[in-house]
Homo-oligomer: A and B are copies of this chain.
Amino acid sequence: APPAKPARLGLCAACHGEDGMARIPGAPNLAGQKLDYLREALRQYRDGRRDIPVMRAATGPLTDAELDQLAEWFSVQTPSRAAQ
């Protein structure tokens, strides 16, 4: 079954889209990205190993479980060429 929409998705979606296709310059597409990569990237943003202020602010309040819900959500979205 596809994952339920994460409670925290709204904040991500402003830049990355609910569907994981980025809405703004500089933000990466996340649709179909590898789950393990997304899980690790979110932890790196949260703890500052990847030092991107907006991502640190967005992930700072989130639990491991919330990060994993978001990683799973984006990993199962289908990339679309239209948004490239």
Which of B27, B32, B37, B41 touches A81 (beta carbons < 8 Å)? B32
In the complex, chain B residues whose CB is within 8 Å of the CB of A41: 28
Q: Please tell me how many copies of the chain the complex holds.
A: 2
- B28, A37: Cβ atoms closer than 8 Å: yes
A interface, size bucket: 20 to 34
The DSSP consensus for interface residues of chain A is loop
Chain A interface residues toward B at CB < 8 A? 22, 25-29, 31-34, 36-37, 40-41, 49-51, 75, 78-79, 81, 84
26 of the cross-chain contacts (CB-CB < 8 Å) are A22-B34, A22-B37, A25-B34, A25-B36, A26-B36, A26-B37, A26-B40, A27-B34, A27-B37, A28-B33, A28-B34, A28-B37, A29-B32, A29-B33, A29-B34, A29-B37, A31-B79, A32-B79, A32-B81, A32-B84, A34-B84, A49-B51, A50-B50, A75-B84, A78-B81, A79-B79
